[in-house]
Amino acid sequence: MPEVCPKCGLPKELCVCDVLDKETTRRIKISTEKKKFRKYMVVVEGLAGDELEKTAKELKRILACGGTYKNGVIELQGGNKDLVKKMLVSLGYNEESIDVI
């Protein structure tokens, strides 16, 4: 038995739910937050569930920085907003839905 997507019922290799999720995703907001000791942190808001976890791990890996994710918010220690936006676009997110603040 091939593995079947629980959402659309299609075999995993035909399923495009992941892609659709990203295309219909609500707006993503990227901002920076100033932390103690003049350190800045990039904050990504607007992702949820599996997407939040996957994207956080991918960003940390690509940017080689530390970070956390919880309650729909990814916090990255290091990196910069424009770079994070480029990374999100290369991961398949629609550039139009990303706001850099």
DSSP states of 7-52: TT-SBTTT--HHHHHHHT---EEEEEEE-GGG-EEEEEES--HHHH
Question: Helices (H), strands (E): how many in the chain?
Answer: 3, 5
45 in Cβ contact with 72 (< 8 Å): yes
Q: What x/- string results for residues 24 through 53 when contact with Zn ion is judged by CB under 5 A?
A: ------------------------------
Site for Zn ion (CB under 5 A): which residue of 4, 14, 17, 20?
Answer: 17
Site for Zn ion (CB under 5 A): which residue of 4, 7, 35, 90?
Answer: 7
Contact status: 21 vs Zn ion (CB under 5 A): no
Contact status: 19 vs Zn ion (CB under 5 A): no
Q: Among residues 17 and 48, whose Cβ is nearest to Zn ion?
A: 17
- Residues that bind Zn ion in the complex, under the rule CB under 5 A: 5, 7-8, 15, 17
